[in-house]
């Protein structure tokens, strides 16, 4: 097996590889062109006897930290050690670049076993909580640019907010960039309109950009009445956007689990879990 950069001409073959991923709902076809054109990331194709049989990507997301993503192997070439070989070569590349850590996000238990066997440690595991959309006008407040530092301080200082942050081990489990929840992230997401606040700022939710059919909160902080009002507000917002409902990713030790139940969110056992792993180099 050899690795080389993915080329635009590889598009059809790579899309063919992804057709059986998540029942044909793989996100890779949507990002293929952007990944090929991105000079900041390394998008690689694995070849066996001249045929593309897999892809992977490594890109920086913070100083000294890279995200490993997009690992796919054609169904005709699985269980041959190709994924493991690709991963190991990506880690060697990360070391050669002087990176100190590689992070990844997956919702696949099989992939989780691969990463754990290669030395990755589990940072956090989140369950999926769903609620249907609901008619209502009391939408959650959007954080304003300039609030990032204050929100980060509140996450550290207010007990229930701090417990939530600890439950996530300080990271935002967003597949597009598993970065630390700090003032810089909160400020950037506030500028992108992706931070929702409960009453008095005592609850907070970070939204994912690719909404698709549901409003998805990757990080939720707080508990009690403030969190309940925020999570109901997300159901109202989902209805206003014509989405099916709202979804939240919560670790098992999150202090607000019972609050979500109180406002109509149910544990989606059939949707698996979201795992964040990290490997110190």
**DSSP H or E stretch at residue 35:** helix 28-37
| Residue numbers of the chain with a pLDDT score lower than 50 | none
Instruction: Say what the pLDDT of residue 211 is.
Output: 62
What residues contact 115, with CB distance under 8 A and at least 6 apart? 87, 104, 106, 277, 279
Continuous segment of H or E residues that includes residue 279? strand 273-280
Task: Copy the structure tokens of residue 265.
Answer: 């969110």
Alpha carbon distance, N-terminus to C-terminus of the chain = 24
Residue 78: CATH number of its domain: 3.40.630.30
pLDDT tens-digit profile of 209-237? 766 789 999 999 999 999 999 999 999 99
Q: Are 190 and 147 in contact (CB under 8 A)?
A: yes
The tens digit of pLDDT for each residue in 75-118 reads 899 889 999 999 999 999 999 999 999 999 998 888 999 999 99
Choose the final residue of a domain: 61, 80, 99. 99
Domain that holds residue 91: 2-99
Residues 170, 235, single domain; the answer is yes
Based on the fold, state whether residues 157 and 249 are members of the same structural domain. yes
Amino acid 94: pLDDT: 97
Alpha helices in 69-182 (DSSP H): 82-96, 109-117, 148-157, 159-167
C-alpha 15/C-alpha 159 separation (Å) is 47
């Amino acid at each position: 097996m050899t690795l080389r950069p993915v080329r635009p001409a590889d598009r059809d073959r790579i899309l063919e590889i992804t057709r059986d991923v998540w029942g044909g709902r793989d996100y890779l076809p949507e990002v293929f062109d952007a990944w090929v054109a991105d000079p900041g990331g390394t998008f690689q194709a694995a070849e066996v006897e001249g045929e593309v049989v897999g892809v992977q990507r490594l890109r920086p997301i913070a100083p000294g930290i890279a995200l490993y993503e997009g690992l796919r192997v054609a169904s005709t070439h699985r269980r041959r050690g190709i994924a493991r070989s690709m991963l190991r070569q990506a880690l060697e590349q990360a070391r050669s670049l002087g990176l100190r850590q590689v992070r990844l996000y997956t919702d696949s238990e099989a992939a989780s076993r691969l990463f754990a066997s290669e030395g990755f440690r589990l940072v956090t595991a989140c369950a999926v909580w769903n609620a249907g959309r609901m008619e209502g006008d009391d939408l959650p407040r959007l954080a304003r640019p300039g609030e990032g530092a204050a929100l980060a301080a509140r996450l550290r200082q207010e007990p229930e907010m701090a417990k939530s942050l600890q439950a996530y081990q300080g990271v935002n489990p967003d597949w597009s960039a598993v970065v630390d929840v700090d003032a810089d992230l909160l400020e950037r997401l506030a500028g992108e309109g992706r931070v929702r606040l409960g009453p008095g700022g005592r609850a907070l939710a970070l939204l994912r950009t690719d909404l698709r059919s549901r409003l998805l909160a990757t990080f939720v902080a707080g508990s009690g009445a403030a969190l309940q009002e925020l999570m109901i507000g997300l159901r109202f917002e989902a209805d206003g956007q014509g989405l099916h409902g709202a979804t939240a990713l919560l670790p098992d030790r999150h202090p607000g689990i019972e609050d979500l139940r109180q406002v109509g969110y149910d544990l989606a056992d059939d949707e698996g879990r979201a795992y964040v792993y990290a490997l110190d180099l």
